[in-house]
């Protein structure tokens, strides 16, 4: 983990980890991608897609989960591909390769913690209604900022199927409010 300090703040990145991961997977010379996932393709259980090495897939996902602690830009994509760790196929591995190609394009990114006088807690929530093609459950997510800096983020499939986008959004807001209450008590 690399830490760079300045008068304006601190940057935490894992550039060396990303380079080693790309070399280990043979993706260091790959063509970079500008997004971690295709927006038009939903990852699911495709018929006719051949299975891949389960152990290798799980190791890659584990490394991407570790990396997502400092790379919030891949957290949603990693959560999507991690749902298929029990039975990965070529389709899922292609989605993982897409994340690796995106990491190649964005090697130096990380978390930036700036010095600020602002003492607020802000929470941003979102939900993708019926985003899972396998069970039609929505995915909720939230980001919390304490004093202007990203502190927590979460992307998780909802426990029940929402009947409308409004219900999916209300569940996401409820999760964000719970996180905000916890942070306020902590501070």
Provide the pLDDT for residue 83.
86
Phi-psi bin for 64: left (phi > 0), alpha (psi -120 to 50), beta? alpha
List the domain boundaries for the chain: 2-110, 117-186
Q: What is the C-alpha to C-alpha distance for residues 126 and 105, in angstroms, rounded to an integer?
A: 26
The confidence band for 40, taking pLDDT boundaries of 50, 70 and 90, is low
Tens-digit pLDDT profile for residues 127-182:
877 666 667 778 788 889 888 888 888 877 777 787 788 888 888 888 889 998 99
The SS3 of residue 14 is coil
Mean predicted lDDT score pLDDT of the chain = 87
Burial class (CB in 10 A: 0-12, 13-18, 19+), 150: middle
Provide the pLDDT for residue 131.
67
Tens-digit pLDDT profile for residues 106-115:
998 988 899 8
């Amino acid at each position: 983990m690399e830490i760079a300090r300045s008068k304006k703040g601190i940057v935490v990145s894992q550039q060396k980890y990303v380079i080693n991961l790309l070399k280990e997977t043979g993706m260091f010379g790959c063509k970079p991608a500008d997004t971690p996932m295709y927006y038009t393709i939903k990852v699911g259980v495709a018929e006719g897609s051949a299975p891949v090495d389960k152990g290798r897939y799980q190791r890659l996902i584990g490394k991407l989960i570790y990396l997502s602690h400092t790379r919030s830009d891949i957290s949603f994509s990693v959560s999507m591909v991690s749902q298929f760790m029990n039975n990965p196929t070529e389709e899922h591995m292609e989605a993982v390769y897409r994340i690796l190609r995106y990491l190649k394009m964005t090697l130096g990114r990380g978390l930036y913690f700036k010095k600020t006088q602002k003492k607020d807690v802000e929470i941003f929530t979102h939900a993708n209604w019926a985003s899972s093609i396998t069970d039609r459950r929505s995915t909720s997510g939230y980001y919390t900022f304490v004093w202007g800096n990203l502190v927590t983020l979460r992307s998780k499939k909802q426990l029940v199927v929402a009947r409308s986008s409004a219900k999916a959004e209300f569940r996401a807001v409820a999760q964000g409010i719970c996180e905000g209450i916890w942070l306020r008590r902590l501070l």
